[in-house]
Amino acid sequence: MSINWQEIIFHFLGGLGLFLYSIKTMGDGLQQAAGDRLRYYIDKYTSNPFLGVLVGIVVTALIQSSTGVTVITVGLVSASLLTLRQAIGIIMGANIGTTVTSFIIGFKLGEYALPLIFLGTMFLFFTKNRTANNIGRILFGVGVSSMPSTSLVLG
């Protein structure tokens, strides 16, 4: 029995590409959706390091990717929506949230990834409302980034 290395490499690169694109799409959607209300909530819930850690844990548990939370956090810092002090708490929480993510994977929440991708795509392609379009970006990004690795088989 021989191993088809080309197929393994192509599947790995394709899955990695989808994952990175979904993180970028989700981050772009969050940045574009950042109005005054989002800025208010970001300031309110990351005002002290303890709250920032809790935010990091919850968001990592929801999107099942500490890397995704870190990428989004860095994007929000570069968009001047977060300060470095706020970002440190969130990233620490994201690392703690990785443990919570393992429990979520045990509950197989990744089974809802395809409906999230579908909803996100519908919002992206069939709405002209900017807010709905940004929500579509977020749903699409969360859906693709939470897909189990076995679903990323491209062939």
- Statement: residue 152 has pLDDT above 60: no
Tens-place pLDDT, residues 73-120: 877 787 777 888 889 989 999 888 887 666 656 666 567 788 888 999
Give the span between the Cα atoms of 88 and 110, in whole angstroms.
28
Tens-place pLDDT, residues 15-64: 888 877 877 777 677 667 666 666 777 778 888 888 888 888 888 777 76
Residues shown for the chain:
155
Indicate the pTM of the whole model. Answer: 0.49
